[in-house]
Structure 1
Amino acid sequence: MAGRITPAAGRYGGRSAAERQAERRGRFLKAGLDLFGAGPGYRATRIADVCRAAGLSSRQFYEEFRSLEDLLAELHLYINDVAQRAVLDALPQVRHLEPIDRCTRLFRAYATGATADPRHTRIAFVEVIGVSPRLDRQRLDRRARWIDFMCEQLDDAAARGEIPRRDFRVTAAAFVGAVNGLMHDWAVGWVDATRDQIVDELLLMLLGRLKVADERADG
């Protein structure tokens, strides 16, 4: 009979329980992305707002998440994963380039992944800040991963003799901090610039630092 659950397959309306759960979770994530990233923002959103936007009940919300913060935390990880995939997808295509060109291409890939959707930018650089010690740890953990990635790329270039060997961790930490700070100010409207202008400015900082290191080594 149509619409009946069969005990053997656990299906309803042609979909398994796991498929229905994934669809519900996706609707909550989409609602959170819209409400946190486009307005009114995480702090002005309530669980009832998310349920209304998702077209689901609060009971269904609590079957997926313990709290509104859990929803924000999952979205923050998802957005970082989108940016990370963009960089990793670009990496094989730039390995043969000189360090300056390689860094340029990789950072542009990151910027596209992190800012192509304005909702992603708002959540990653604004909404997660200061929410709780747990989210601060999550945010700083992801920042540390980007610092490690930068150090790996620069250490690899040094091992190939493309740039002088040194400890790149301070440079990487300073650059990642600048990215987070400028992206925050841009997302909240404190900096009047296009995305391309923001990316170009950050690239000038990074590439300028690498060029200074090269010039000192040559001297």
Structure 2
Amino acid sequence: MAGRIKAPTGRYGGKSAEERQAERRRRFLGAALQLFGDGPGFRGTTVAALSEAAGLSTRQFYEEFRTLEDVLAALHLQVNGWAEDAVMGAVAEAEDMPLAERATVIFRAYAANVTSDRRRIRITFVEIIGVSPRLEEQRLARRARWIDLVCAEVAGAVARGEAAPRDYRLAVTAFIGSVNGLLHDWSAGWVDATLDEVVDELVRILLGILQPVGPRLGGP
């Protein structure tokens, strides 16, 4: 299909065209979270099945999206956006805390958000993999955003004297891989630990990077 079908304009049922479009999009993404995250998966879902699950028509689907890949792309960004909102709230909450406490609050907020609905983990760590070069680029770009966020936190720790000054980007990139892998394995039942224990271990890994064995820097 060359492009999306043009959606109707004007008010209908007391809602503007923009409001109706936002509602349709919300319903399609909600159905996609269910089918992609706890059903046949992205590769096993058709436009017809997604539309039926959303309670909408295939025509309405093509008013919002060109392909199912567009839906997966939007859902992947939405799931990451929810997690980022949770993390930024924790960053503000932990503003004046020492490094270890601050890291614990932030990573607990992230872990609680992404594991609150196992469908989100499947979207983020499973369904998005290997779909297309375009989605692989999006996945890596979103990972780079998380790396930037952690690097900014590390820079703050350096400025407060809680970490030695050096370029941490490579170490943070490896750390993000550990976060993703451990949370995925925990959600799949392959890690015999509570979520708090998983978060505590991730914090220890981060502190080991920032505060290696030797003369102790500032902080707890």
1:4-59 deviations in whole A, cap 9, x for unaligned? xxxxx922221222211211111111100110111121111111110110111111
3-state SS in 1 of match to 2:211? helix
> Which stretch shifts more, 160-169 or 138-147?
160-169
3-state SS in 2 of match to 1:12? coil
Q: Distance in 2 between matches of 1:19 and 1:72?
A: 22
Q: Distance in 1 between matches of 2:195 and 2:187?
A: 10
1:97-155 deviations in whole A, cap 9, x for unaligned? 11111111111111122221211111111111111111111111111111111111111
Contact 2:164 2:211 in 1 (8 A): no
Contact 2:211 2:217 in 1 (8 A): no
- Of Structure 1 and Structure 2, the greater helix share is in 1
Rg comparison, structure with higher value = 1
Which amino acid is 2:89 matched to? D
Contact 1:128 1:136 in 2 (8 A): yes
Root mean square deviation, CA, Å: 2.0
Which amino acid is 2:171 matched to? T
Which amino acid is 1:109 matched to? A
Contact 1:157 1:163 in 2 (8 A): yes
**Structure 1 counterpart of 2:19:** 19
Which amino acid is 1:196 matched to? D
Contact 1:100 1:207 in 2 (8 A): yes
1:43-77 deviations in whole A, cap 9, x for unaligned? 11111110110111111101101100100100100
**Structure 1 counterpart of 2:170:** 170
Q: Distance in 2 between matches of 1:144 and 1:116?
A: 23
CA drift at 1:198? 3.0
**Structure 1 counterpart of 2:90:** 90
TM-score normalised to structure 1 length: 0.87
Q: Distance in 2 between matches of 1:26 and 1:97?
A: 37
Which amino acid is 2:185 matched to? D
TM-score normalised to structure 2 length: 0.87
> Which stretch shifts more, 159-168 or 136-145?
159-168
> Which stretch shifts more, 34-43 or 175-184?
175-184
Higher-RCO chain (CA-CA 8 Å, sequence separation at least 6): 2
**Structure 2 counterpart of 1:4:** none
> Which stretch shifts more, 16-25 or 29-38?
16-25
3-state SS in 1 of match to 2:131? coil
Q: Distance in 1 between matches of 2:36 and 2:172?
A: 29
3-state SS in 1 of match to 2:163? coil
Q: Distance in 2 between matches of 1:213 and 1:173?
A: 21
Which amino acid is 1:125 matched to? F
CA drift at 1:217? 6.6
Identical amino acids, percent of aligned pairs: 58
Q: Which runs of 5+ in 1 are unaligned?
A: 1-8
**Structure 2 counterpart of 1:99:** 99
- Listed as ranges, the matches of 1:15-94 within 5 Å are 15-94=15-94
